[in-house]
Structure 1
């Protein structure tokens, strides 16, 4: 299973047609969901973020955890 929502999963979440990319992007922006646009123009939403947000985790906590997983701690290398 992919780490990103499929077109059908995202359209079900948003409540629009699977081909309505503009509708999806507007909904994600309006509801402050983080996403990235892939080369095909499709908004990529993290499955982990969706699960946490739908289970009641605060968006700030979810975003902070996602950021911590992606960036190494370079401070440990400083002398």
Structure 2
């Protein structure tokens, strides 16, 4: 925790609120985070960990988001022509 008493990572309740699932639905959280391009680490208990700093940057629009943020990949049609 930092000097303000706030942890480095979002709590399970905060992450569940962001994702829209139950705080115990770790698989759901991981799928949503992956689909929407959010970086996360998984701890030894299998719980996804999202940086509070990244969350703040993402929510204010200052984070570097992936170019494919949440978009479905399209097939490489150019490969069919070659």
Tell me how far 1:5 sits from its aligned partner.
Answer: 0.3
Aligned to 2:3: none
Q: Where do 1:11-50 residues align within 5 Å?
A: 11-50=16-55
Q: Write the distance in 2 (CA, Å) between the matches of 1:28 and 1:38.
A: 15
Q: Write the distance in 2 (CA, Å) between the matches of 1:45 and 1:59.
A: 15
Aligned to 2:71: none
Q: Write the distance in 1 (CA, Å) between the matches of 2:29 and 2:56.
A: 18
Aligned length: 60
Aligned to 1:52: 57
Runs (4 or more) in structure 1 with deviation over 4 Å come to none
Structure 1: gaps spanning 5 or more residues:
61-79
Tell me how far 1:57 sits from its aligned partner.
Answer: 1.3
Structure 2: gaps spanning 5 or more residues:
1-5, 66-82
Rg larger in 1 or in 2? 2
